[in-house]
Amino acid sequence: MRIVLLGAPGSGKGTQAGLLLEQLGLTHISTGALLRNAVKAGSELGLRAKAILDRGELVSDRVMLGLIEERLQGDDVAGGFILDGYPRNLAQAASLETLLEKLGKPIDVAIQIDVDSELVIRRIAKRAKEEDRSDDTEKTVRKRMKVYQEQTAPVAGYYAERGLLTRVLGDGNKDEVLQRILSVISVGSSSGLQPD
């Protein structure tokens, strides 16, 4: 199964991706994590990306497409994947569709995790204390939320037009959210559908 996870910063995409891949045996592809690893490794991409991440802006579509194209060549994606953090605007959604068509691996479902912005801001403040993320400052979070509203929120409509969008509520604890996701993709204990 090939899944795109959508949701605001702090909506729990990364957490749910982690739980889903345990359940479904899929590979997690987080573009935020790929970029943070590049920053840590001090690669050329990392050096260029750091300032952009810290401002809460988006890395260019061209760079992101190169990164995701390379990642999708990995042997570990053959059994299915969860994309977390990509696509983040309509241009990325269109490029991804073309790329996956070429690879013969179209998206099966896009899952939007809906949360209210107050909850998100509280969660991110907590995460900033727990993890060492230099982009979790209040100023950057506000900027990321703005970028999300303006550029990423329309991506849900892109998948809705293709009949691929499903939405779940992201409040409650992580297992409650996981159960909601499993039930909308019909991979609960009561379903016979197998992930491919």
| Bridge partners, 79 (sequence order) | none
Question: What's the rounded Cα separation, in Å, for the pair 152 and 61?
Answer: 13
- Set 36, 88, 123, 180: catalytic member: 88
| Nearest CB to ligand ADP, comparing residues 114 and 183 | 114
Total chain residues near ligand ADP (CB under 6 A): 18
CB of 120 to ligand ADP, least distance (A): 9
CB of 113 to ligand ADP, least distance (A): 11
56 binds ligand ADP, rule: CB under 6 A = yes
Question: In this chain, which of 88, 111, 113, 181 binds ligand ADP, going by CB under 6 A?
Answer: 88
- Catalytic residue check, 133: yes
φ, ψ of residue 144 to 5 degrees: the values are -65, -35
CB of 181 to ligand ADP, least distance (A): 17
Q: Which amino acid is at 78?
A: A
Question: What's the rounded Cα separation, in Å, for the pair 196 and 162?
Answer: 21
93 binds ligand ADP, rule: CB under 6 A = no
Expressed in angstroms, the distance from the first to the final Cα of the chain is 5
φ, ψ of residue 120 to 5 degrees: the values are -65, -45
Q: Which amino acid is at 5?
A: L
H/E stretch holding 138: helix 138-147
Question: What's the rounded Cα separation, in Å, for the pair 70 and 99?
Answer: 11
110 binds ligand ADP, rule: CB under 6 A = no
CB 142 within 8 A of CB 133: no
152 binds ligand ADP, rule: CB under 6 A = no
- Set 2, 36, 50, 144: catalytic member: 144
Candidate segments 53-61, 71-79, 103-111, 159-167, binder of ligand ADP by CB under 6 A? 53-61
Query: Active-site positions?
Result: 13, 88, 127, 133, 144
Binding site for ligand ADP (CB under 6 A): 9-10, 31-32, 35, 52-53, 56-59, 64, 85-86, 88, 92, 135, 144
